[in-house]
Amino acid sequence: MENLIRLFADYYNKTDFRRFQNSFSMDIYNTLGKSYSSNHNEVAMVTDLCSIINGKEFDKLKFYSKKIHGSRSYVEFNNRDKPVTTELADMVIIAVATRRKDIIYEKIGLIQNKKSEENDSWKIDENQLFLLHNFPSFIGKRGIFKKGFDNEVVFLNHTDSLGNYGLFLTPGEFVVVNALTIFKAQQGHKVKFEELKKLTEKRIKNANAITGLCFDHPLWDEMLYRNSKYLSKYGVPFFDLPFLGTSTVSLNVHEFIRNWTLFNFGEVASFSGHVMDDDLSQFTRLLLRQAGLSNVINLNVDAQEPDHDLTIMVLHVSLD
């Protein structure tokens, strides 16, 4: 794990890495602009994104994307006192780091995509919002959780970053915010972009005083040692860093790409050899297998191939 932290500390202050992030963002902007010009719906827009993301590389980072065609994944749970069935999500974003093909860190975020309507707003399904916000125990009714899981599914969602919304905005913008933010910002059954901006004006970025500290400082080795020895099993560093953390709001493409490429997006499934969430880790590895990464990652998952309709986007970091 120490090598992963050192790698991102190096990337964070490297001009070439920021140039890669900026170029990546511009490719997405250009793709979304063409999608809007062609009046594509959100399904077609996500398909367009898949084509531009798949195969991108920077140093030890490699990106994969795959659109799985099958049955939509529906789950059943209680929304307060009423049993309901709704779609889980239509896209997942994964960031995974390996050493000798073994996973040392994996994060995942579920995303429900929405295309803006009038007045830069998006219509929100209340049952799905309840699911992505609270993650009550649920069972699979159709799709991935129908075959891949025997019992009810429990996601811990410690950081409120597992359930998210991907909000497409004219003329070609992509906003990604967690379900808790949507819950706070919604008015009726809609969310407006202006309300999201107001709500997040005072957000604290994933960094503190240490951000300005040189990563070659004498204290750096001591902090890495303490983190590896005492707190690795809890899935989070004992100090805040501008990478390998949690950011629940990305108001534009640049912010999202920077968060994803710095491992700041999504919920931790496993960390430094410790599985943080059994069901979430199994779910993540099933998706990694379907995305075609079983030849580069030891996934150790025996569940049968699930049937679902989902877009999978993966950032893989190899420390070999």
Q: Write the DSSP symbol of residue 245.
A: S
pLDDT (tens digit, 9 = 90+) per residue, 179-204?
Answer: 999 999 999 899 999 999 988 875 54
pLDDT band at 215 (very low <50, low <70, confident <90, very high): low
Mean pLDDT of the chain: 87
> Is residue 260 helix, strand or coil?
helix
Question: Alpha helices of the chain — where are they, by DSSP H?
Answer: 2-12, 15-37, 42-53, 126-134, 144-148, 179-185, 193-199, 218-226, 253-261, 278-290
Look at residue 273 and tell me whether its pLDDT is greater than 60.
yes
What is the C-alpha to C-alpha distance for residues 90 and 190, in angstroms, rounded to an integer? 19
Contact 241, 263 (CB under 8 A): no
Determine the structural domain holding residue 128 and report its residue range. 2-318
In sequence order, the β-bridge partners of residue 85 are: 76
Domain total in the chain: 1
User: Tokens representing 296?
Assistant: 């580069």
Name the pTM for this structure.
Answer: 0.89
> Is residue 221 helix, strand or coil?
helix
